[in-house]
Amino acid sequence: MSQKRTTTVLGVLMALALLVLAACGDAGGDSDEPAAAQQETEQAPDTQEPGLDDVPAVVAEVNGQEVTREEFAPAYQAQLQQAAMQAQMSGQEPDAEAVKQQTATVLVNTVLLRQQAEERGISASADDVEGELTKIAEQNQLGSVDELLAALERQYAAMVDGKQYLTGGLGSRWDGESFGDPHELPNDRAYAETCAAIGGVQWAWRLLLATGDARYADQIERLLLNGFLAGLSLGGTEYFYVNPLQLRTGAHAEEERNPAAGRRPWFGCACCPPNPRNAPWSPRSRHSPPPP
């Protein structure tokens, strides 16, 4: 694996870790929808790709910058795969047209974000990323970026070996939404937050990209199909905040997060409802480089 790929993966890993930690600490506010995206109406040429015959060569134009069918197709297929996975739980067929509209919106928003970054002079070269990662390594008494990656692998292994439930659930303490001591894994008082499972998937995916180690793919499967799915209703509209392995008969729900209250459509700190919607469940999406 090249040093460039390692640097890129580690940079994204740090950003994702910060985003996951911030999600539960701030309920956030509504953001204005991006204003300007002019949909093009020109006819698409013939294509053999299923479901894309009606997609024009230029899907949208954003302040003079085109979003092409070549950009749209892989992103749409990834979104459609995600919708098909959700359909297996809900029993409802995915709405292909709605998925196309959602994909176009995501692509337009991405272009707008890049344009704003360019206008403000925000940029980062490979040398900039390498420099920041080197600083992080030095701050942690590590000699190089490679040592930083090795430390992250050791930290992940320690989590899996002593602080993860059989279901992939992460976090045993309600106090501070935190890990406990090694092998402190009570069944009925487990926290195992739904968002923590999502964060675990994201971390495992980035380590898989950085190392090519199949252990991280196994982790993604365990977390996604057990730690995460337990927190989501079949209809996809109600959620568990926490996912203990045992619920005692007659348990009293002292607060809304307690699973004795049942799955809920919303929470006072609402990180769990939006996170399943926004998580990158399709690893081979346009946002990720191919694995080594």
List pLDDT tens digits, range 20-77.
Answer: 344 444 444 444 444 444 443 333 333 334 578 888 999 999 999 999 999 899 888 8
Residue 193 has pLDDT above 80, yes or no: yes
| Bigger pLDDT: 278 vs 269 | 269
Residue 99 has pLDDT above 80, yes or no: yes
| Bigger pLDDT: 239 vs 277 | 239
Percentage of residues of the chain with pLDDT beyond 90? 23
Buried b (16+ CB within 10 A) or exposed e, 23-41: bbeeeeeeeeebeebeeee
The arithmetic mean of pLDDT across residues 254-270, rounded, is: 83
Sequence spans of domains, the chain? 3-27+125-278, 51-119
Q: Which tokens belong to 99? A: 């998925």
pLDDT category, 286, cuts 50, 70, 90?
very low
Q: How far apart are CA 249 and CA 54, in angstroms?
A: 54
Q: How far apart are CA 143 and CA 148, in angstroms?
A: 8
Residue 138 has pLDDT above 60, yes or no: yes
DSSP string of 91-132?
-PPP-HHHHHHHHHHHHHHHHHHHHHHHHTT----HHHHHHH
> What's the pLDDT score for residue 187?
92
> What's the pLDDT score for residue 217?
92
> What's the pLDDT score for residue 49?
44
Do residues 225 and 240 lie in contact, with contact meaning Cβ atoms separated by under 8 Å?
A: no
pLDDT category, 154, cuts 50, 70, 90?
very high
> What's the pLDDT score for residue 278?
56
| Bigger pLDDT: 179 vs 232 | 179
Q: Which helix (H) or strand (E) holds 39?
A: strand 38-39
- The set of long-range contacts for 78-83, using a CB threshold of 8 Å and a minimum separation of 24, is 78/282, 78/284, 78/285, 78/286, 79/103, 79/106, 79/282, 80/51, 81/282, 82/281, 82/282
Residue 268 has pLDDT above 50, yes or no: yes
- Which segment, 77-86, 127-136, 175-184, is predicted with the most confidence on average? 175-184
pTM: 0.58
Buried b (16+ CB within 10 A) or exposed e, 215-230: ebeebbebbbebbbbb
Tell me the pLDDT of the chain averaged across its residues: 77
Residue 9 has pLDDT above 80, yes or no: no
Do residues 165 and 192 lie in contact, with contact meaning Cβ atoms separated by under 8 Å?
A: yes
> What's the pLDDT score for residue 143?
87
> What's the pLDDT score for residue 277?
62
> What's the pLDDT score for residue 274?
73
Residue 164 has pLDDT above 90, yes or no: yes
Percentage of residues of the chain with pLDDT beyond 70? 75
> What's the pLDDT score for residue 68?
92
Give every strand in the sheet of 38-39, ordered side by side.
38-39, 58-62, 65-68
The CA-based angle 140-146-148, given to 5 degrees, is 25
Residue 12 has pLDDT above 50, yes or no: no
Dump pLDDT digits (tens) for 108-117.
988 998 898 8
